[in-house]
């Protein structure tokens, strides 16, 4: 599934002009434990599903769900830093921006 996030929720400096929504699938997100005090979100829970895990994270007012490795060291309550990796950008009309 794709997470549809508003601009400004996470650092998105490379978003093209006119971006209103950012689409982020698992491959579009880099999530790591926060180590220096700054955090973008908090892990709500890790849902273990055999060979993969669903990672549920709260970022401001939004909830996002992504996949993580079965052997992840992330757990409930962990503060995380989240960065985009080549996400999809959409304008106010819902059309994808290049």
- The pLDDT value recorded for residue 69 is 85
Q: Between 71 and 65, where is the model more confident?
A: 65
pTM for the full model? 0.87
Q: In this model, does residue 33 exceed pLDDT 90?
A: yes
Q: In this model, does residue 74 exceed pLDDT 90?
A: yes
Which structural domain range is residue 73 located in? 3-97
pLDDT tens track for 15-30: 999 999 999 999 999 9
Q: What does the radius of gyration of the chain's CA atoms come to, in whole angstroms?
A: 14
Q: In this model, does residue 36 exceed pLDDT 90?
A: no
The DSSP-derived string for 1-69 is --EEEETTSS--TTPPTT--EEEE-GGGEEEEE--SS--SEEEEEEEE-SS-EEEEEEETTEEEEEEE-
Question: Beta 3-6 vs 62-68: how paired, if at all?
Answer: unpaired
The domain tally of the chain equals 1
């Amino acid at each position: 599934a794709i997470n549809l996030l508003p601009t400004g929720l996470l650092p998105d400096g490379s978003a093209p002009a006119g971006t209103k929504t950012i689409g982020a699938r698992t491959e579009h997100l880099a999530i790591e434990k926060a180590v220096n005090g700054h955090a973008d979100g908090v892990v709500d829970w890790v849902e273990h599903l055999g060979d993969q895990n669903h990672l549920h994270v709260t970022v401001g007012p939004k909830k996002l769900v992504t996949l993580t490795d079965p052997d992840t060291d992330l757990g409930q309550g962990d503060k995380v830093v989240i960065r985009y990796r080549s996400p999809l950008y959409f304008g106010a009309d819902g059309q994808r921006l290049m």
